[in-house]
Amino acid sequence: MTTARGDLVARVSANLDAVRGRIAATGRDPSDVAIVAVTKSFGPPAAIAAYEAGLTELAENYADELVASHDALGDAPVRWHYLGALQRNKLSRLVTRVAVYESVTSTRDVDVLGARVSTASCFVQVDVTGEPGRAGCRPELAGVVVAAARDAGLAVEGLMCVASRDLGVAAGQFAGLRRLADSLGLAGCSMGMSGDFEAACRSGATMLRLGTALFGDRPRRPSSHVA
């Protein structure tokens, strides 16, 4: 192992320990909350470091980056999550690499995904903010999308959301998603990112999506990048 690689693994490991300490401080058992390492913009070295630090749930927002990081890890027993929009022309590269699709937002997404990989696991993404441009179905439509996904043969693990940047507002949104998941008989809540995961834990998150909390400041993406 090179010095740079070893330093990165050590830094991720230390940050992971700190995250678990912060989860415990919310009153939750860290072993009950899955940590998904989001390697967006960090590249394959971060994916390798996350795995060597003991994380086996990794995520990407962009198809090309997921392919590169997945292939860099080879046969490592990692469960890859895809967080990006579901597009037919991207799925051909993802179906052999992705285990969990966290961005099912509509019955159209169910049709797109079910036509390519009918046995995939997924989360239904809910727009808990109502803000313009936010991805996800409206809360009142979540049951329809969940039912469609189940009918298509998809394994619905739970609901997913991206909350408001206002932590006071986000806490209520997380609690609302937890109630909605419970009402639909779903155990999983993928909610909470690096800036708000403690509020998510207090509201019953079962899965956190963390990037900067593990890897540090995210590199600036080239403006010409295409997923």
> What does the pLDDT read at residue 1?
61
> What does the pLDDT read at residue 63?
96
**Shortest CA distance to 200 belongs to which of 3, 14, 34?**
34
The residues that bridge with 207 in the sheet, in sequence order, are 34, 190
Low-confidence residues of the chain, pLDDT below 50?
A: 224-227
> What does the pLDDT read at residue 221?
60
Count of Cβ atoms closer than 10 Å to residue 44 Cβ: 15
> What does the pLDDT read at residue 223?
52
> What does the pLDDT read at residue 5?
78
Q: Which residue segments constitute the domains of the chain, with CATH numbers given?
A: 3-215 (3.20.20.10)
Report d(CA 183, CA 179) in Å as an integer. Answer: 6
CB of 70 closer than 8 Å to CB of 63: no
> What does the pLDDT read at residue 24?
98
